[in-house]
Amino acid sequence: MYRPVLLCRFLDDGAMGRVWRASHSETNTPVAIKVVPLREDATEAHIFRFRAEIRAIASICHPGVIRIIDEGVLDDPSIMGDGNQIPKGSPYIVMEWASDGHLGQRIRYRDWDQTKNILLSLLDALAAAHARGIIHRDIKPQNILFSNGCLRLADFGGAFEAQADQIDPTRTKMVGSPNYMAPEQILCRWRDLGPWTDLYAVGCLGWLLATGRPPFVRKTRKAVLRGHLLDRLPVFAPLFPVPPDFKSWCEKLLAKNIHSRFEFAADATNQLL
């Protein structure tokens, strides 16, 4: 295990791993540790995606992408901060600590300047990822972190590598969060994935930031997915003044046909400036 680190607090238990806040014992620097417990229900796909997350983050040199400090596997069973034992051989990542939480905790009290800056910072980080052939596939408020006031895009556990040497076992599976998933993700059309897939999620996020809710809010997951596939966008009702063309900008990002969206993050950026 990352021996100079003292675990402080369990943070999250997701499909791709468990996350703890920790502290470097010598420098007292806060970090986050993500571990995939190597247990019977940890499939080959889980381990593949974890390794892919490390490759993805390590390949993107950009201040808007969370930084990896170390990675490895547990050399012996470890008792983590929540009292659970993690088996020997479980892979882990040590990442920088985002001190200011995630976007989901900061949705309220927005204005246009804040909204624009968040979207531009996110698009800049995505442009760097897309230039490396990496599609994030899970853009949502909880994966947009802030550290010292600056945005950090995190959780590349669902990332799709367009030029990967190995076949991705998740490519034919639905990956993402229902409120922010592009139609091609829902339909598992992996050959149609591209920068425009993440840009659809940016459109959902822009809608959320302006109106207080993502475009297709439904009572069930199935109904949300159907909304992305078939339903027209609801009435755009921003909670604060926005430029007249912001609605059409979101609508272009949220086009169901991939050819009707912006092709690259830079295109969306230029229209937003």
Q: Are 33 and 12 in contact (CB under 8 A)?
A: no
Q: Is 138 a catalytic residue?
A: yes
Distance CA 103, CA 110 (A): 11
| Structure token digits, residue 136 | 């994030």
Distance CA 196, CA 202 (A): 9
Considering 41, 82, 138, 198, which one is annotated as catalytic? Answer: 138
Q: Are 72 and 5 in contact (CB under 8 A)?
A: no
R_g over Cα of the chain: 19
Q: Are 215 and 194 in contact (CB under 8 A)?
A: no
CA 228 → CA 49, 104, 215, 235, distances in Å?
Answer: 25, 21, 9, 15
Category of 103 on φ-ψ map: left (φ > 0), alpha (ψ -120 to 50) or beta: alpha
Q: Which residues are catalytic?
A: 138
